[in-house]
Amino acid sequence: MHKIIFISILVFLSNSLLAQDLTGDVYGRVFDFVTKQPIPFANVIVLGTDYGAATNEDGFFKITGLPVNTYQIRASVVGYNPQTKTDIVIQTGKPAEADFELSPQAIEIEGVTVTSDYFRKDPIEVSSIRS
């Protein structure tokens, strides 16, 4: 009888251990390298996966539900050079932290030449009839 109870408890415990969620989270902030101000609405993606997030107004992001593993995470936004952090270890129950400092990037565009020519506008004739 004791063996049956012991085996039942062992099976129950092993099933509950296997049912644990093997995912974790990563969070952090994205800053301007020069001004140290937060960068809102930057894209933060986990390379090689479909996981990602955008920073809020304070430059904060959080990506949840990542399978336990080691990842590369990239932050990017228009007007800044992207930055990639490597060896970000995701563990169950211990959120990883990844802060980014993006340096401004000069965006070069082709020049635009504006020209104009004299044009004559035909006058509009206005007439009124009174009775």
The CATH number assigned to the domain holding 75 equals 2.60.40.1120
Q: pLDDT at residue 90 above 50?
A: yes
> Span 62-67, mean pLDDT?
97
Alpha-carbon distance of 76 to 30, in angstroms, equals: 9
pTM above 0.75, yes or no: no
- Say if 70 falls within a structural domain: yes
pLDDT for residue 19 = 46
- Say if 79 falls within a structural domain: yes
3-state secondary structure at position 7: helix
- Say if 114 falls within a structural domain: no
- Say if 13 falls within a structural domain: no
Q: State pLDDT tens for residues 36-51.
A: 999 999 999 999 999 9
Q: pLDDT at residue 27 above 90?
A: yes
Q: pLDDT at residue 8 above 60?
A: no
- Structural domain containing residue 88: 21-102
Exposure string (b/e) for 9-37, b if CB count within 10 Å is 16 or more? eeeeeeeeeeeeeeebbbbbbbbbeeeee
> Span 96-124, mean pLDDT?
84
Per the structure, the count of domains in the chain is 1
Alpha-carbon distance of 129 to 127, in angstroms, equals: 7
Q: pLDDT at residue 17 above 70?
A: no
- Say if 98 falls within a structural domain: yes
